[in-house]
Structure 1
Amino acid sequence: MVQRVILPLEADSDSVPLYVDAGATFLDSRRDAAGAGEGGALAGQAGRAEAVQSSDFRGRFSTMVRPSARVSFATYFNAFPASYWRRWTTVRSVRLEVSVSGAGVLAVYRSNAKGAQQRVESVAFDGALTQAFDLPLAPFGDGGWYWFDVVGGAEGALLESAHWAVPDPGGKRGRASLAITTFNRPDYCLRTIEAVWAADTVRDLLDELLVIDQGTQLVADEEGFADVAARMGEQLRVVRQGNIGGSGGFSRGMYEVVRAGRSDYVVLLDDDIVLEPESLTRLVAFADFARRPTLVGGHMFDMYNRTVLHTFGEVVDPWRFQPRPAQEDMELGHDFARSNLRTTGWLHRRADVDYNGWWMTLIPTEVIREIGLSLPLFIKWDDSEYSLRASKAGYPTVSLPGAAVWHISWVDKDDLVGWQAYFHERNRVIAALLHSLYDRGGRVIRESAYMDVKHLISMQYYSEQGRLTALRDVLAGPDRLHELLGARLGEIRALTAQFSDAQLKPDVDAFPAPRRHKPRHKGHGPHQPARIALAPWAAKTVLRQTLRPVAEEARERPQALIAHQDARWWRLAQYDSAVVSNAEGTAAAWYRRDPRQVRTMLAEGIELHRRLLTEWPRLRQRYQDAAPRLASFEAWEETFRRHAV
């Protein structure tokens, strides 16, 4: 058995549409796949998952089906991702086994890569029935799912249980250890530990749950920890160390699991998640049947909007060296409550990825033994770099549908601004030096220079200072990366005292009130320059930013209050000062134009990018030569020793 049909742990959960759907829905077969992608859902009668009555659920595996109602399991967590098993495993058929009672019809469906659905088989029942369907995987070369519906008869029906199983030639099942990296989120972390303990099937395959605690608010001090620790016994271990970022925490988890020598897999988990425990058994089952050792990751849903999927799969664009969706027609932030699996064509095409985020990713221990641990990058790009490195060694990454966590959304974050700008810039360039297919990184250097200009004309001098520091560190070479793990974050954050755009206050009334003036542009406000006019607009704006003195009144009070969603670079460039709210909506900072700062930073940025362009071939060789040493167990052992607590 590789996938049980499950219902939400909380019957009244907003996540119900991910488990159960209702009504008859279909894709309009007259429209092609391109039409499917443009609007997300194709024409059809969209079944609304809120029509499912959670009061009908009879525990984790069983649900009532009301008279004449149709309950569909063509859902994220319960449909079978046939094309992924077809492509990445040795499995060539799957068996669906369903137990029902009452009266009604049990119908099995499949889809193709375009999302067109076909009825495969159906069985009428009147009384208790356990029915098995043996289903081939041959037709799923490019995409497609299997699922089943239950239609209630005159008196209704009961789905008692269902599961998907694959032929097992007798190979042993793999065992896994979990590694959670946490920093001052003891409440979230404890909930994940408790979810693992409560899931029998997870405990059965678990060697050890490791918590790498890098914080000062310790999970071991959280109320309730002692109780679950006593119950889990030797299956739970906490390792404390200083804060050396996600890469340091996850590397410690990998290190401990490989050194223990018991587990076939380590599953990396973020600390700020809500876990669907069944996901863990699915990751392990998929990895057990994979053709070759494979990194298997789960998807990420929005913790505060439970049916919204962050992305169905991502690749690293080889020219820009930036993450992008694996397929052009994929939609970021897809909401299954608005457009379910049956009516969303692009969800049926298999998404082949370059990497999976380390909110939940399984890595075979034999891969770790061969290619090493994470690079010492602190945060950002450590997960994608690792998968790119694994791919070069012949180990693919799969983002497996039906395995997922809920994670704090990126919607309320803007980590390109603030202290994280340093890590975005430095680690993207390092990853490009290691893995770019182009002689000088494609568009990396050009886009980096563009970002410098955007930050400067937006009065985001703190973020720009971090980016300049990042480029200096890249040019200095790879040898200090381990040394910087515990130091650079504190140094970057200490710079906030020098930049007003980094000094956040929770109340805008803490700043002087803006003084209204006659609006420019006849009151319509600034607008984004057209692409054809961008170059002259940028030149004019940079000249204004560097040469025109700041209005005296703008030094004393802001000219405007600007909401975060309106704080676009082309709008901020029109002001001498403004109070701008942060992405979370919890605070605001006073942005003030400083021509001297712009001139100094612009000149340094030009010089650093010139050096990066000139020195790229030499730097690439240095980083590629150093990478195996930086990711080695020996290098990380020394880092763990220095940051022991």
Structure 2
Amino acid sequence: MDQYRPPHGLVKQQHVDTVLQRILLPGDHAQRGHVSLLLESTGGATADFRERMVLPAGHTVSFCSYLNAFPAGYWARWSILDRVRLSLEVVGNAVVRVYRSSADGEAEVAEEVRHQGQGDVDIELPLTGFDDGGWYWFELSPQKQRNVELLRGSWNALTPAPGRAAAVVGMPTFNRPQDCLATMRVVAGHPALRAVVKRLVVVDQGSDKVTAQPGYQRLADDFGEQLLVVDQPNLGGSGGYAQVMRRALDVPECEQIVFMDDDIVLEPDCLLRGIAFARYAAHPLLVGGQMLNRELPSQLYVMGELIDRRAFTWLKPSHSEYDHDFSTRPLRETPWLHRRIDVSYNSWWTCVIPRTVAEKVGGPLPLFLKWDDVEYGLRSASRGFPTVSVPGIAVWHEPWWKKDEENNWQTYFHSRNRMVAAALHGRLPHFPALFGAHLRDTLRHLVSMQYWNVALRGAGVRDFLQGPDALSSSLPTARQRAARAFERFAPVTGPVEVTETPLGDGAGDLPRQVAQPPGTSGASMFRLLVELVRGCLPVSGGHAGHGHPRLSTDQAAWHVLAALGGAAVTSPDGSHWTLRERRPDVFRKLLAETLISHGRLALAFPRTRSKYRRNRQRLESLRRPSIRKSV
């Protein structure tokens, strides 16, 4: 598989007060998927180092790429800058041609410079006319049939940034010590990043400790006082990030707080870009990194997301797509990538939070995991601090589909914390949309024979109704509570054998009217009601028997599973199957529990919502909970 590997070797330190975005070159170790993020076309160029490229005569190299083009629309909208400078150091005779694009992807030549000999090429470019989006990029063409060398390049501001580049970078970790150490090594090996990181905080919440790993001590000696490892019980992502923020605010010179996941693959320049964007922002804001696919490095998995403030579900912003592969659809040929998008929040795989925001907004809520980043983004925006997810600032992260969250204990936190976020940030007249969506989805999981999922969603609703006091006090035991709810109806699972294949059409020999999805919302509701009645009845006829079909995840829609007596559904990554079987006694029990819990939710939500809002300040406080001393 085409795996991205982080840069190795030393990188020249540049003037961090003016560099917005350094030009990144593939180096001698880059994989094909990574190259497509750096160069649109190589023209036969070779880059043995991260800062030096040799361009053969007669070829043009284009830097119209996700990581090297300049997202002018975002800088024009959010920063204090009205001009930027492209700075290159070139050896040889070459033409530098700068392009600019509009929000709909139409491109034109903005500047053209002919360079001779060895020296700097500096081109000033205005940030006007980018109201809705657009990029700058450049091409380099050797002249006179001679090779040309590019020694360095960057997009710069004309004046130093306000304030200081002084960051505390932090990541919680839970039994992923090797991933954590890999990220630490990347930070350690980048002098420009080391120069602005005042402290690297690792919050270790697992039993397989980072400090016990081979190679840790050498890293610790290298970092010296820059490194702080905090050992604490497993308080989830929210508890880990709260510790990071608390420790960051204890560092007087800290101006930026950077949250990172422990299982990312890091391009260190992206952290420098995020810090620069935060410093040049016209007003304080959160700078989010976008998500690239760790399994397919050339794929932009998530560009940014919105939250539906009625049903509290995720939405894809207009003019964006999931799973965009730059190796097959480069930036120049993808018009939607040129339009600026706005987001509701940014996940904490990487997010830069200015100190002033943390001081005024507070810390993450004690949610353990799921929705903590969403809630923080919504809270920050409500207090005047928006979130911007900036192209070219990104990390590689495991895609969500590999986690298979519908079939494990994390469903509990999705359910409970979604309600908490809605209580704090939703309007009461919109509650019916949230209620209807949650009940509908729970019943669909029920007819899909995902009994563990239904139990977890019900537990989440019940625990939400216990109010904010229970939310805080249960943080140290939240993981175990969710696991117990899952174990009530834990499914039978098994590995997928190489010789096994799912059904070809996902419906077996089912009648066409059953295999096809309901055509309208009314038809869907009627079909769901029919299947709820059928699920309460004894298994008979076509629902009985032990020869359960094998379905892929894509094939296992609720309306298909509802018509079966059972099925073995393959996990999204194809590694194992989960057995789903019709069990009328369990079905009736969970249906009753679901109707009771949602009935209570409908009656008690307004009162419970008021409780959460009255306790908002306590929930946001960084003084809870008590944390063990660092090691």
TM-score by length of 1: 0.89
Structure-2 separation of matches of 1:182 and 1:155 = 51
- Give matches, 1:64-463, under 5 Å: 64-153=54-143, 154-168=145-159, 171-327=162-318, 329-441=319-431, 443-463=433-453
Structure-1 separation of matches of 2:513 and 2:444 = 22
1:457–1:112 CA distance, 2 compared to 1 (3 A): same
Structure-1 separation of matches of 2:443 and 2:419 = 17
1:352–1:418 CA distance, 2 compared to 1 (3 A): same
Structure-2 separation of matches of 1:168 and 1:356 = 29
Structure-1 separation of matches of 2:514 and 2:536 = 22
| Paired letter, 1:420 | Q
Paired residue secondary structure (2:380): helix
Comparing 518-527 and 78-87, the one that deviates more: 518-527
Give the match for residue 588 of structure 1. 577
- Give matches, 1:563-582, under 5 Å: 563-582=552-571
Paired residue secondary structure (1:441): helix
Structure-2 separation of matches of 1:309 and 1:362 = 20
Give the match for residue 4 of structure 2. none
Paired residue secondary structure (1:537): helix
Q: CA deviation at 1:107?
A: 0.4
CA contact (8 A) 2:167 2:255 kept: yes
Is residue 2:550 matched to residue 1:561?
A: yes
Structure-2 separation of matches of 1:400 and 1:556 = 54
Structure-2 separation of matches of 1:257 and 1:622 = 30
The one of 535, 540, 548 equivalent to 2:530 is 540
Could you give the per-residue CA deviations for residues 232-291 of structure 1, whole angstroms, max 9, x where no partner exists? 111111111111111011111111111233311110000111000001111111111111
CA contact (8 A) 2:367 2:471 kept: yes
Give the match for residue 36 of structure 2. 17
CA contact (8 A) 1:311 1:325 kept: no
Q: CA deviation at 1:495?
A: 4.3
CA contact (8 A) 1:104 1:156 kept: no
Q: CA RMSD in A?
A: 2.4
The one of 516, 532, 536 equivalent to 1:527 is 516
CA contact (8 A) 1:452 1:602 kept: no
The one of 620, 623, 634 equivalent to 2:609 is 620
Give the match for residue 46 of structure 1. none
Paired residue secondary structure (2:493): coil
Paired residue secondary structure (1:374): coil
Q: CA deviation at 1:144?
A: 0.9
1:519–1:268 CA distance, 2 compared to 1 (3 A): closer
Structure-1 separation of matches of 2:90 and 2:412 = 57
Paired residue secondary structure (1:597): helix
Q: CA deviation at 1:519?
A: 6.0
| Paired letter, 2:23 | V
Q: CA deviation at 1:552?
A: 9.3
Paired residue secondary structure (1:494): helix
CA contact (8 A) 2:171 2:201 kept: yes
Structure-2 separation of matches of 1:473 and 1:52 = 60
The one of 464, 470, 494 equivalent to 1:474 is 464
Q: CA deviation at 1:129?
A: 3.7
| Paired letter, 1:195 | V
Structure-2 separation of matches of 1:411 and 1:52 = 36
CA contact (8 A) 1:371 1:628 kept: no
Could you give the per-residue CA deviations for residues 363-417 of structure 1, whole angstroms, max 9, x where no partner exists? 1122112221100111111001001101111111111111111001123233133
Q: CA deviation at 1:140?
A: 1.2
Q: CA deviation at 1:437?
A: 3.5
Q: Which runs of 5+ in 2 are unaligned?
A: 1-18
| Paired letter, 1:137 | L
Structure-1 separation of matches of 2:457 and 2:468 = 17
Structure-2 separation of matches of 1:577 and 1:524 = 19
Q: CA deviation at 1:464?
A: 0.6
Give the match for residue 25 of structure 2. 7
CA contact (8 A) 2:410 2:482 kept: no
Paired residue secondary structure (1:542): helix
1:523–1:143 CA distance, 2 compared to 1 (3 A): closer
1:480–1:558 CA distance, 2 compared to 1 (3 A): farther
Using the aligned pairs only, state the percent identity: 36
Q: CA deviation at 1:454?
A: 0.8
Q: Which runs of 5+ in 1 are unaligned?
A: 23-50
Structure-2 separation of matches of 1:505 and 1:607 = 34
| Paired letter, 1:568 | A
Structure-2 separation of matches of 1:171 and 1:590 = 58
| Paired letter, 1:332 | Y
Q: CA deviation at 1:190?
A: 0.5
CA contact (8 A) 2:456 2:486 kept: no
CA contact (8 A) 1:319 1:438 kept: no
Structure-2 separation of matches of 1:169 and 1:68 = 38
Structure-2 separation of matches of 1:102 and 1:330 = 40
CA contact (8 A) 1:318 1:442 kept: no
CA contact (8 A) 2:311 2:430 kept: no
The one of 488, 493, 496 equivalent to 1:504 is 493
Give the match for residue 595 of structure 2. 606
Structure-1 separation of matches of 2:285 and 2:508 = 58
Give the match for residue 43 of structure 1. none
1:386–1:297 CA distance, 2 compared to 1 (3 A): same
Could you give the per-residue CA deviations for residues 498-546 of structure 1, whole angstroms, max 9, x where no partner exists? 3252x3233579x9xx9xxx96446897222222522322222111111
1:139–1:182 CA distance, 2 compared to 1 (3 A): same
CA contact (8 A) 1:254 1:266 kept: yes
The one of 53, 61, 69 equivalent to 2:51 is 61
Paired residue secondary structure (1:248): helix
